[in-house]
Chains A and B, each alone.
Chain A
Amino acid sequence: MKPAPFRYHLAGTVPEAVSMLAELGEDAKILAGGQSLVPMMTLRLARPSDLVDITRISGLSYLRAGLDGLRIGALTTHRMVETTRDPAVLAGFGVLARAARWIGHYPIRARGTFGGSIAHADATSEWCLLAVLLDAQVVLAGPGATPRERTVPAAEFFCGLFTTAAEPAEMITEIWFPRPSRSAALAEFAPRQGDFAVVAAAASVDIDSRERGAACRSVRVVVGGVGSVPFVVDTGAVAGLPASASTWREVGELAASQIDPPEYADGDAAYRRRLTATLVARALDEASRQ
């Protein structure tokens, strides 16, 4: 299990990286944490012609919370998100820190990057689900005489199984979460802690007041593991219902009724529906308690 030959390039800056990508063509790949790409290479499922190593580009590793929301640099590791103690981050985006523990294991989180997860676009990925849930914008840098930058809403960024709206010569520099969401949570089920989730559900709730039985203004739910991209549940009917366990169960069943999950070794469609109902209710319940 040794990787096939490739040419290695070390990029010192973002413009350098994207111009390398433009020059090297479609079979070149960006190497960040390598926790998803390199296993595919040792299994020879991925055979990039070239790797552009961006791990030494400085200034891409940060969590910055401000008036315009939270900005996460592409090279920020999962572990940095998990262990952040920045009150500004935790106040509006605590769900990210809480969800990080679901990602692989500690050494994977210490090396794997936020931008890498988004670029890999696994539909069960915690970051992909939360990016869609929280209306994040993916910031991409592209090549050109004056390097250009564009942002793509997460919901449009993920286009299919491991495919994104990024052009071959673009790289993710930042993920921007424009609006805080205090009442959000992620729940997932994996055969073993650290495995890829069979089904994962991210949810946020907006409730009239903190009082018992208060009505939901809105509920948002995104489910992973039930299709090639994160699935956004249509929760229009939920507004006005009381924020209660029975409502969360109802939304869970609603989500289960909307999906058309594939059959994989880890469970048939019925099992994935069952998990979806359970995990959506669980995520909503946890979100409502934040």
Chain B
Amino acid sequence: MLTGRGQFTGDMSRVGMLHAAFVRSPLAAARVTGIDTAAALAQPGVRAAFTAADLGEPYLMAVLERAEFRPTRMPILAATEVRYAGEPVAMVLADDPYAAQDAAELVDADWQPLQPLPDIDAARAPGARQLHDGLDGNCLVELAMFTDERLPGIFATAALVVEAEFTSARVAALPLEGRACLADWDAAGQQLVLHCSTQVPHQLRSGVAQALGIAEHSIRVRVPDVGGGFGLKCVVGREEVAVAGAALRLRRPVGWVEDRQENLTASFHGHQQRYRVRAAFSQGGVMLGLDAEIDCDVGAYSAYPFTSAVEPLMACSELPGVYKVPAYRALGRAIATSKPPTAPYRGVSRPQIVLVMERLMEKAARSLGLDPLEIRRRNLIGPQDFPYTGPNAITYDRGSYLESLQLADEIIGTQGWRAELAAIRAGGLRAGIGFACFSERTAYGTPAMSLRRMGMTPGYDTALVRMDPSGEVLVSTGTCGQGQGHETTFAQIVADRLGLHPDQVRLRQGDTDLASYGWGTWGSRSIVIGGGAASRAADQVAQRLREIAAHLLEASAQDVELADGSASVRGDAASTVPISELARIAHFQAHRLPEHLRYGLEARETYDPPGTFSNACHVALVSVEPDTGLVVLRKYLVVEDCGVVINPMIVDGQVRGGVAQGVGAALLEQIRYDNDGQPISGTLVDYRPPTAMQLCPVEVVHLETPSPFSETGSKGMGEGGTIGAPATVLNAINDALAGDDVAFDHIPVLPPDVTAALARAQAAVSAAAVQGVQ
């Protein structure tokens, strides 16, 4: 990577390769009454053009096995109707990407405009057009997941009822490498080889096979280096299927590299949600009941394979989070709108639910005159409560919910954050400190996933550990990293079991012909599940090594230790044999071994854990400039607990990168559409992720509460930074503006929001003063 020798999909080329360009709808809603590719085909260098009909009208359909779910067919190329601006209707294939784009402009399509449904309100309006046949209220799923008959009574008698609406904007995952694929027909292997920048190679294979009606074994998905995924690439893109279909049809290599404009307007988005919440509190600040209505603006289709229900399901299931909520009701909906579909972007609803719970705590504390940290302490699941089963039927394994808050508070005290706050205020700016406490369910296998009733239920993973005759090890798994350092971490796990140096272990992932089936990398699952499977397989190989060594050294296998590249008999320094020698004998001199120890050194194992909760407390210090509304992040602290830390540098990198994305969601990022459903955030001039100037150093402190539900004691942690940061930053802004009586319940908080709210608050104060005088 550092020397430019990494290989991303767009770096690959093949002799005779064609470049695909997609013809996309300029309108948010229209009937397609005709598509003419003749002018495009007449261009020099153009070799083919396909419409839906040319490809046999393939489609992807994600399924949830729930009566209240309405599946949507997502056509690979739209044939009769387009449901968002940017939806593909045709593809053009040319000798180079410049010619392909020229030709795509010449495809002539006839559009008959329909009424767009640009947002939830438009989609829910009485009499609104239904985006798909058979929908009611444009609802793709309505989940009444939990209820409690005591709630009306609780709300009627509670000392305090907090009622509020919280919203979060549509955002883009924005990996620096957009989506990309290259499909090539391997005549010798009678196989379509699909190189793709994806997080889920096996699901991509399944999706392509289902859409094109071919056998899974006739497709091999190989994943080169991936330039970031963040959930965008854990769904199957229609372009990926179209490219595979074209390569299959033409029997020649076809490549496609998504450009940034496509990435921002025509891939997948996430996080656009609205929460209408009531919470009942006692006089002492104890939460008594919680009632939430959650609407997710999921766009026009359900993304394959996990469906559009991912966001409302996660939101309803996990809203209570780290707090003890005695009575709970949640209603979650996925609403179809004239916008691109959503994928499970890093965090998946948890940035929002944490924001909701943390805002509720702050609001209640303010109303009851309590310290905001004290009210959290009174509601957090405490050390004596584990394992704790919540009203959402989730059992939380041991974490450090109270301890992390306590430690964070101590650290900012020692570091003098409050003095800095005072100094900034003295300089004429507003300043505030915000907290957020949360947990993150990670690494859940099929036991937890099956409760969601997805047609394709993910969760387990597989690993194959093979030692070669030289004593080096190849590990292949169904996970698929994009810079999380799996090569390092998996090597550490396996090398540790086998008594080798990590350099002797190579990881191969992202190849569907090498792993039997797996679920890729997302949902903070890889180290616990993939690493767990690898650890189990390595244990088996280690056991075999010990038995071979025991046979050669005439000792008992229980007494053989594997360390520093050798197998040694405990307590007998002379009885030792290099592991490489064991490997040589196992492969080249199998006849020297008894029957049951012969023929190779390999093991395949699976792992399918119930899931484990990591947790954290985030603290931020921000300044706010009242004249411009500029919010500046000054300090950031994360106290996090992901159980046993396998590699601190990698964990810290994941946390910091996650925080950066969460800060972006809190302060900057927003995919906007106008009232006609036209995208107005189609470039990086309009869509603004944080640069180094919007961030400050993030200090990461670890607590370690080992998980009983993982092979290594570690818990997943890939999303926590993104989950905690929006609530933390929002609370810090609100703390800064508390004296002005301004509080925000939405993200992102943009500079004009701040100045407008301050002006309104000022006007209210003036009006009150005038009334007072009168």
Which stretch (A1-9, A78-86, A230-238) binds chain B?
A1-9
Are A191 and B668 within 8 A (Cβ)?
Answer: yes
Given contacts A2-B98, A270-B756, A274-B627, contact A192 B691 (CB under 8 A): yes
State in angstroms the CA–CA spacing of A266 and B681 once bound together.
Answer: 12
- What is the CB-to-nearest-CB distance from B22 to chain A, in angstroms, rounded to a whole number? 13
Are A267 and B751 within 8 A (Cβ)?
Answer: yes
Interface flags for A181-224 (1: CB within 8 Å of B; 0: not) read 00000000101111110000000000000000000000000000
Interface flags for A142-171 (1: CB within 8 Å of B; 0: not) read 000000000000000000000000000000
Which stretch (B77-85, B285-293, B445-453, B682-690) binds chain A?
B682-690
Interface flags for A247-289 (1: CB within 8 Å of B; 0: not) read 0000000000000000001111011001100100000000000
Partner of A192, one of B694, B752, B759: B694
Interface flags for B668-706 (1: CB within 8 Å of A; 0: not) read 100010000000100101101011011000000000000
Among B55-103, those with CB < 8 Å from A are 97-98, 101-102
Are B755 and A271 within 8 A (Cβ)?
Answer: yes
| Contact of A43 with B by CB under 8 A | yes
Are A43 and B683 within 8 A (Cβ)?
Answer: yes
Are A267 and B752 within 8 A (Cβ)?
Answer: yes
| Contact of B259 with A by CB under 8 A | yes
Are A1 and B672 within 8 A (Cβ)?
Answer: no
- What is the CB-to-nearest-CB distance from A263 to chain B, in angstroms, rounded to a whole number? 11
Number of residues of chain A lying within 8 A (CB) of chain B: 22
- What is the CB-to-nearest-CB distance from B660 to chain A, in angstroms, rounded to a whole number? 13
State in angstroms the CA–CA spacing of A193 and B691 once bound together.
Answer: 9
Interface flags for B617-661 (1: CB within 8 Å of A; 0: not) read 000000000011110000000000000000000000000000000
Partner of B752, one of A43, A196, A266: A266
State in angstroms the CA–CA spacing of A121 and B102 once bound together.
Answer: 29
Are B693 and A192 within 8 A (Cβ)?
Answer: yes
Are B685 and A189 within 8 A (Cβ)?
Answer: no
Are B261 and A195 within 8 A (Cβ)?
Answer: no
List, in ascending order, chain B residues with CB within 8 A of A192's CB: 668, 688, 690-691, 693-694
Are A274 and B755 within 8 A (Cβ)?
Answer: yes
| Contact of B598 with A by CB under 8 A | no
What secondary structure prevails in chain A residues at the interface with B? Answer: loop
Nearest-CB residue, chain B, relative to A2: B98
- What is the CB-to-nearest-CB distance from A276 to chain B, in angstroms, rounded to a whole number? 11
Are A278 and B628 within 8 A (Cβ)?
Answer: yes
Partner of A191, one of B683, B688, B756, B759: B688
Among B97-140, those with CB < 8 Å from A are 97-98, 101-102
Nearest-CB residue, chain A, relative to B260: A1
Partner of B685, one of A1, A3, A196: A196
Are A268 and B752 within 8 A (Cβ)?
Answer: yes
State in angstroms the CA–CA spacing of A58 and B268 once bound together.
Answer: 48
Nearest-CB residue, chain B, relative to A266: B752
Are A193 and B672 within 8 A (Cβ)?
Answer: no
Interface flags for A1-34 (1: CB within 8 Å of B; 0: not) read 1111100000000000000000000000000000
State in angstroms the CA–CA spacing of A2 and B759 once bound together.
Answer: 45
List, in ascending order, chain B residues with CB within 8 A of A3's CB: 98
Given contacts A2-B97, A2-B98, A270-B756, contact A194 B683 (CB under 8 A): no
Given contacts A1-B259, A194-B691, contact A265 B686 (CB under 8 A): yes
Are A2 and B101 within 8 A (Cβ)?
Answer: yes
Are B260 and A195 within 8 A (Cβ)?
Answer: no
Partner of B628, one of A4, A196, A275: A275
Are B102 and A5 within 8 A (Cβ)?
Answer: yes
- What is the CB-to-nearest-CB distance from B262 to chain A, in angstroms, rounded to a whole number? 9
List, in ascending order, chain B residues with CB within 8 A of A266's CB: 752
- What is the CB-to-nearest-CB distance from A225 to chain B, in angstroms, rounded to a whole number? 13
Interface flags for B692-727 (1: CB within 8 Å of A; 0: not) read 011000000000000000000000000000000000
- What is the CB-to-nearest-CB distance from A285 to chain B, in angstroms, rounded to a whole number? 12
State in angstroms the CA–CA spacing of A169 and B465 once bound together.
Answer: 70
Are B261 and A1 within 8 A (Cβ)?
Answer: yes
Are A271 and B756 within 8 A (Cβ)?
Answer: yes
Are B630 and A195 within 8 A (Cβ)?
Answer: no
- What is the CB-to-nearest-CB distance from B510 to chain A, in angstroms, rounded to a whole number? 27
Are A195 and B688 within 8 A (Cβ)?
Answer: yes
List, in ascending order, chain A residues with CB within 8 A of B260's CB: 1
Given contacts A1-B259, A1-B261, contact A265 B672 (CB under 8 A): yes
List, in ascending order, chain B residues with CB within 8 A of A270's CB: 756, 759
- What is the CB-to-nearest-CB distance from B680 to chain A, in angstroms, rounded to a whole number? 6
List, in ascending order, chain A residues with CB within 8 A of B693's CB: 192-194
Are B680 and A265 within 8 A (Cβ)?
Answer: yes
State in angstroms the CA–CA spacing of A194 and B689 once bound together.
Answer: 13
State in angstroms the CA–CA spacing of A197 and B612 once bound together.
Answer: 46
List, in ascending order, chain A residues with CB within 8 A of B759's CB: 270, 274
List, in ascending order, chain A residues with CB within 8 A of B261's CB: 1, 43
- What is the CB-to-nearest-CB distance from A253 to chain B, in angstroms, rounded to a whole number? 12
- What is the CB-to-nearest-CB distance from B85 to chain A, in angstroms, rounded to a whole number? 16
Of B627, B685, B693, B755, chain A has the most CB atoms within 10 Å of the CB of B627
State in angstroms the CA–CA spacing of A265 and B753 once bound together.
Answer: 12
Nearest-CB residue, chain A, relative to B681: A265
State in angstroms the CA–CA spacing of A268 and B630 once bound together.
Answer: 16
Are B628 and A189 within 8 A (Cβ)?
Answer: yes
List, in ascending order, chain B residues with CB within 8 A of A275's CB: 628
Nearest-CB residue, chain B, relative to A282: B627
State in angstroms the CA–CA spacing of A192 and B633 once bound together.
Answer: 12
Among B258-288, those with CB < 8 Å from A are 259-261
- What is the CB-to-nearest-CB distance from A192 to chain B, in angstroms, rounded to a whole number? 6
State in angstroms the CA–CA spacing of A241 and B406 once bound together.
Answer: 56
List, in ascending order, chain B residues with CB within 8 A of A268's CB: 752
Nearest-CB residue, chain B, relative to A45: B683
Are B630 and A189 within 8 A (Cβ)?
Answer: yes
State in angstroms the CA–CA spacing of A278 and B752 once bound together.
Answer: 13
Nearest-CB residue, chain B, relative to A199: B628
State in angstroms the CA–CA spacing of A194 and B685 once bound together.
Answer: 10
State in angstroms the CA–CA spacing of A193 and B261 once bound together.
Answer: 23
- What is the CB-to-nearest-CB distance from B94 to chain A, in angstroms, rounded to a whole number? 11
State in angstroms the CA–CA spacing of A270 and B751 once bound together.
Answer: 12
State in angstroms the CA–CA spacing of A172 and B690 once bound together.
Answer: 36
State in angstroms the CA–CA spacing of A271 and B757 once bound together.
Answer: 11
List, in ascending order, chain A residues with CB within 8 A of B751's CB: 189, 191, 267, 271
* A residues adjacent to B (C-beta < 8 A): 1-5, 43, 189, 191-196, 265-268, 270-271, 274-275, 278
A-B contact pairs, 17 of them (CB 8 A): A1-B259, A1-B260, A2-B97, A191-B668, A191-B751, A192-B690, A192-B693, A193-B693, A265-B680, A265-B686, A271-B629, A271-B756, A274-B627, A274-B628, A274-B759, A275-B628, A278-B627
Given A5-B98, A196-B685, A266-B752, output 8 extra A-B contacts at Cβ < 8 Å.
A2-B101, A3-B98, A189-B630, A189-B751, A192-B693, A267-B751, A274-B627, A274-B759
Closest 10 pairs between A and B when the two form their complex, measured CB to CB: A271-B752, A278-B627, A267-B752, A1-B259, A2-B98, A193-B693, A189-B628, A2-B101, A274-B755, A192-B691
